[in-house]
Amino acid sequence: MSSSNNPIPSGPLARRASRRVLVQHGERKIWVGGDAPVVVQSMTNTDTADAVATAIQIKELARAGSELVRLTVDRPESAAAVPYIRDQLDKMGIDVPLVGDFHYNGHTLLTEYPECAAALSKYRINPGNVGKGAKRDTQFAQMIEVAAKYDKPVRIGVNWGSLDQALLARIMDENAARDNPWTAQAVMYEALITSAIENAVRAEELGLARDKIILSCKVSGVQDLIAVYRALSKRCDYPLHLGLTEAGMGSKGIVASTAALSVLLQEGIGDTIRISLTPEPGGDRTKEVVVGQEILQTMGLRKFTPMVIACPGCGRTTSTVFQELADDIQSYLREQMPEWKKTFPGVEAMNVAVMGCIVNGPGESKHANIGISLPGTGESPAAPVFVDGQKVATLRGDNIVSEFQAIVLDYVQKNYSKAA
Ligand code: SF4
């Protein structure tokens, strides 16, 4: 994105070269890595054995824009439910590829529930949770053999909360033998990276094609994640799944994830992202999808939904009308997108400005595709509307929200219809 003619270069560094991995369900193909756009994925928090609740949540996540959805497969009842969930989604026209998350008993579930193994489009294996001692290699091999048999890609997903203890002990022994031993932090980083790469190499030796492997090394600290992925990205060309594990709740989870992922994405590192937010009680699971999309869109890496530019408000704003209008318009645009992206291609690049007074309002409104500047303190109770920089209307009264929404819809129909 940077230009040699620009004396002040902007934009992210070139994406790191990686292999491309195809994750597919039927006709739906999601490429991860190579020159494919960074993929947004999410994970359910329903009991997978509750097939109806899980299918409903997957539908919601997919409609919000999740391009892959992971679900835990933790026991026989969950494995038995997976093909039923897949079937229900297909009947609802939801073709999002599903990823099965396996720990400890994945070798048994994938072997004893072949319909589950076939219904999933990708498996996630945590090499620290495969088994202990001699069983570990056998159980890992069983899962990889199922993946190879069904031609499914695998994410080797290392997590520092469940790091392979035997491997960690080996790396610590190697460190103790050094003339200048590394810090405990450096040893931990090395153990995470080594676990991911050694297990990927082992998977290839077991017959899984190289272009079927994605890696992740999740940690919960921002600086740790950046350090680990910078090093990991230099040592392999597998596509990388980025995410801060246990990011937390509310603004903390969003800020920590954004801080970590933005640095890495700006450096061209990362092929798919998941934002691991702890939902508020009764909160909406789709928030993790929205946050992931907004990170990519605000960085200029992808476009998903028309963006609303709104001023923060200040002592000049006389009412909450402009806050409500900004919120209503953003919600309206997001709700329309599942349909609009089919009927109005390109609409995701549209900008809408909602400003609280005339100080910056008209200027910002003119830069957007559509902008409205609401009256501030002491200003006449009128809201000028700008379309492509030209003032086209002045709204007054109690119906400003619905009238502005109608202007937005009219603009979309005129400018983004396939025939336009
Ligand atoms: S545009 Fe007006 S209301 Fe909004 S922050 Fe600026 S001065 Fe305040």
First to last CA, the chain: 29
Enter the tokens of residue 400: 């400003």
At residue 34, the pLDDT reads: 96
154-175: average pLDDT: 93
Residues with Cβ within 8 Å of 388's Cβ and at least 6 positions away in sequence, in order, are: 369
Q: Is 363 in the pocket of ligand 1 (CB under 6 A)?
A: no
**Which structure tokens are listed for 38?**
């960074």
How remote is the CA of residue 316 from the centroid of ligand 1, in Å? 6
Beta-carbon count within 10 A of 36 CB: 18
Is residue 6 pLDDT above 90, yes or no?
A: no
Apex CA 32: angle with CA 30 and CA 33, to 5°? Answer: 145
- Ligand 1: residue whose CA is nearest its atom 2: 357
- Asked if pLDDT for residue 72 goes beyond 60, the answer is yes
Q: Is pLDDT at 3 greater than 60 in this prediction? A: no
- Asked if residue 373 has its Cβ within 6 Å of ligand 1, the reply is no
Mean per-residue pLDDT, 314-321: 77
Q: Is the CB of 21 under 6 A from ligand 1?
A: no
Cα separation, 305 vs 386, whole angstroms: 20
Residues 6+ apart with CB under 8 A from 419: none
- CA dist 61 and 293 (Å) reads 12
Distance CA 179, CA 213 (A): 36
- Distance from Cα 360 to the centre of ligand 1, integer Å: 6
Assess whether the C-beta atom of 361 lies below 6 angstroms from ligand 1.
Answer: yes
Which pLDDT value is given to residue 317? 77
In this prediction, residue 74 carries a pLDDT of 96
- pLDDT per residue over 106-126, tens digit each? 999 999 999 999 999 999 999
Distances (CA, A) of 115 to 29, 110, 315: 20, 9, 61
Residue nearest to atom 5 of ligand 1 (CA): 313
Can you read off the two tokens belonging to residue 182?
A: 């590394």
Atom of ligand 1 nearest to the CA of 376: 3
CA-proximal residue: ligand 1, atom 3 (nearest): 356
The confidence score (pLDDT) of residue 356 equals 84
Q: Are 405 and 328 in contact (CB under 8 A)?
A: yes
Query: How many whole angstroms from 10 Cα to the centroid of ligand 1?
Result: 28
The Cα–Cα gap between 255 and 203 comes to: 35
Q: Is 317 in the pocket of ligand 1 (CB under 6 A)?
A: yes
Residue 5 has what pLDDT?
76
pLDDT at site 4 = 60
Q: Report the share of the chain in percent with pLDDT over 70.
A: 98
Q: Is 302's C-beta closer than 6 angstroms to any atom of ligand 1?
A: no
CA distances 96 to 26, 60, 69, 81, 116, Å, are 10, 11, 7, 17, 16
Select the highest-mean-pLDDT range: 83-87, 126-130, 340-344.
83-87
- For residue 23, the one-letter residue type is V
- pLDDT score of 24 more than 70: yes
Separation of alpha carbons 5 and 307, rounded Å: 29
List CB contacts of 122: < 8 A, sequence separation 6 or more.
Answer: 23, 68, 97, 98, 99, 100, 152, 153, 154, 155, 214
Mean pLDDT of 360-374: 86
* Closest by CA position to 257, among listed 237, 238, 240, 274: 274
Pocket test for ligand 1, best of 311, 319, 358 (most atoms within 8 A of CB): 311
Average pLDDT score over the chain: 92
For residue 15, the model assigns a pLDDT of 92
**Which atom of ligand 1 is least distant from the CA of 361?**
1
The length of the chain is 420
Residue nearest to atom 7 of ligand 1 (CA): 359
Cβ atoms of 409 and 352 within 8 Å: the answer is no
Q: What mean pLDDT do residues 131-137 have?
A: 87
Structure tokens at 239: 């596509």
Residue 315 near ligand 1, beta carbon < 6 Å = no
pTM for this predicted structure: 0.93
pLDDT in tens, 193-243: 999 999 999 999 999 999 999 999 999 899 999 999 999 999 999 999 999
The DSSP bridge partners found for residue 41 are 68, 274
Our answer on whether the CB atom of 49 is closer than 6 Å to any ligand 1 atom is no
Q: Is the pLDDT of residue 279 over 90?
A: no
Q: Say if residue 356 is exposed, middle or buried (CB neighbours under 10 Å; 0-12, 13-18, 19+).
A: buried
User: Taking the CB of residue 145, how many other CB atoms lie within 10 A of it?
Assistant: 17
